[in-house]
Amino acid sequence: MSNVRVLVGTRKGAFILTADGKREKWDVSGPHFAGWEMYHLKGSPVDPNRLFASQTSGWFGQIIQRSDDGGKTWTQPGTPPGEQTTPEGMPKGESNKFVYDASSESGKPLTTHQWYDGTQHPWEFKRVWHLEPSLTDADTVYAGVEDAALFCSKDGGKSWRELSGLRGHGTGPKWQPGAGGMCLHTVILDPKNPGRIYIAISAAGAFRTDDAGKTWRPINKGLHSQYIPDPYAEVGHCVHHIAMNPSRPDVLFMQKHWDVMRSEDGGNSWHEVSGNLPTDFGFAIDVHAHEPETIYVVPIKSDSEHFPLEGKLRVYRSKTGGNEWEPLTKGLPQSDCYINVLRDAMAVDTLDKCGVYFGTTGGQVYCSADAGDTWAPIVRDLPAVLSVEVQTLS
């Protein structure tokens, strides 16, 4: 029977939740890296026991951690004995070195972006928001960072190089931070086209490369954001998250600041599918593993009130690819619930029936083992959940 492993990043450490395919009885491991903000953990599709984790702190900066045994033990890539060492024989740890490309070779060294007051502001590295392991190589992993840029490691997370074509493609000076900072939070690799990568930035929008990161272009046509000077601008939209079903990589679903959107053509154009949602503000969005027209969102009241409407925690599911939505409430609190579900805190497994998972800022991680029909908490009292990823293990 298959097992599932849920990787949970929280404000005060990481937790690993495991269960068999029934997804009823759970083992909880953690906190790993207690006291650190764990923005994101994700496993390699090539080697599921290889996990990457973003460990960060306002005091001590950014650390990258890697496990090669499914989360039992961790190390900073570059530190295992036997690798490159200092003269004293200690291993070198450079896995946390993220340096923006300002080389003349890149052709367009870009050093400023738009600040809140409209002036230009230097790019400053703060943290890694999202780690996306390669679909084909266990040593290759991408990192979406704040201030927004995309980095890539080809040595298992030990050293990092910026894919500077993204910042340098032309619109970079117009990007500006959202309320949570100017973060590159979404990285999606196209399983059918190795050169195609989608990314999203708050508050710049969505971008795509078709040549493995050398050149990029904005893909925001159809987005409408009333709160920016030009509501249909090429960049400047606060995209919260994008999701894709691997079987149909040209079809994308987006939770924008407001609006749930859909693209049929790899992001070339978008149209709204908010339909009958009670509010179309939110952060998380995901797609059923086996039914590419079934999507999930967690509507949040507004950008000033980051909690569910009426204190009722409801996941909304559309089985029609959007527009027609149904509330999923069984097992979820339907009164006095004022948590939030952040953008990287929803995931699906690939079991049959598809499992859907999400974590809350109140520290709960919920699981539905029946594609959303019913829900149960795996844990109730973790620190605020920043991210949830799921691995289906055979």
Partner 1 sequence: MIRVVLPPHLRGLARITGEVEIEVIGPATQRSVVDALEARYPMLCGTIRDHITQQRRPFLRFFACEEDLSHELPDAPLPDAVTSGKEPLIILGAIAGG
Q: Which of the residues 33 through 72 are near partner 1 (CB under 8 A)?
A: 33-36, 57-63
**If binding is defined by CB under 8 A, does position 119 make contact with partner 1?**
no
Q: Mark residues 190-209: x for contact with partner 1 by CB under 8 A, - for none.
A: --------------------
Q: Which of 20, 27, 90, 115 is close enough to bind partner 1 by CB under 8 A?
A: 90
Q: How many CB atoms lie within 10 A of CB 2?
A: 12
Nearest residue (CB) to partner 1, 75 versus 392: 75
Q: Which of 21, 45, 48, 91 is close enough to bind partner 1 by CB under 8 A?
A: 91
Q: Which of 22, 72, 97, 330 is close enough to bind partner 1 by CB under 8 A?
A: 97
> Both tokens of residue 122?
């230097």
Nearest residue (CB) to partner 1, 125 versus 283: 125
Burial state string for 88-124 with b = 16 or more CB within 10 A and e = fewer than 16: eeeeebebbebebbeeeebeeebeebbeeeeeebebe
What is the DSSP annotation of 224-247? --TTSSSTT-SS---EEEEEE-TT
Q: Give Cα 176 distance to the centre of its chain.
A: 19
Nearest residue (CB) to partner 1, 33 versus 52: 33
Evaluated on CA atoms 304, 368, 382, 95, the torsion sign reads negative
Q: How many CB atoms lie within 10 A of CB 190?
A: 19
By CB under 8 A, how many residues form the interface with partner 1? 24
Q: Which of 12, 46, 94, 212 is close enough to bind partner 1 by CB under 8 A?
A: 94
Q: Which of 25, 86, 117, 394 is close enough to bind partner 1 by CB under 8 A?
A: 86
Nearest residue (CB) to partner 1, 128 versus 244: 128
Q: Which of the residues 215 through 254 are near partner 1 (CB under 8 A)?
A: none
Nearest residue (CB) to partner 1, 95 versus 220: 95
Residue 132 — φ and ψ, nearest 5°?
-125, 100
Query: With CB under 8 A as the contact rule, which of the stretches 96-104, 105-113, 236-244, 354-362 interacts with partner 1?
Result: 96-104
What is the DSSP annotation of 6-38? EEEEETTEEEEEEEETT--S-EEEEEETTTSEE
Nearest residue (CB) to partner 1, 35 versus 194: 35
Minimal distance in Å, beta carbon 86 to partner 1?
A: 6
Distance separating alpha carbons of residues 101 and 109, to the nearest angstrom: 7
> Both tokens of residue 23?
């997804």
Query: With CB under 8 A as the contact rule, which of the stretches 45-53, 84-92, 109-117, 255-263 interacts with partner 1?
Result: 84-92
Q: Which of 227, 107, 128, 223 minimizes the C-alpha distance to 172?
A: 107
- Give the SS3 label for residue 335: coil
Tally the residues of the chain: 394
Check if the beta carbon of residue 308 is closer than 8 Å to that of residue 334: no
Nearest residue (CB) to partner 1, 60 versus 115: 60
Nearest residue (CB) to partner 1, 31 versus 144: 31
Residues near partner 1, by CB under 8 A: 33-36, 57-63, 76, 79, 86-88, 90-94, 96-97, 99
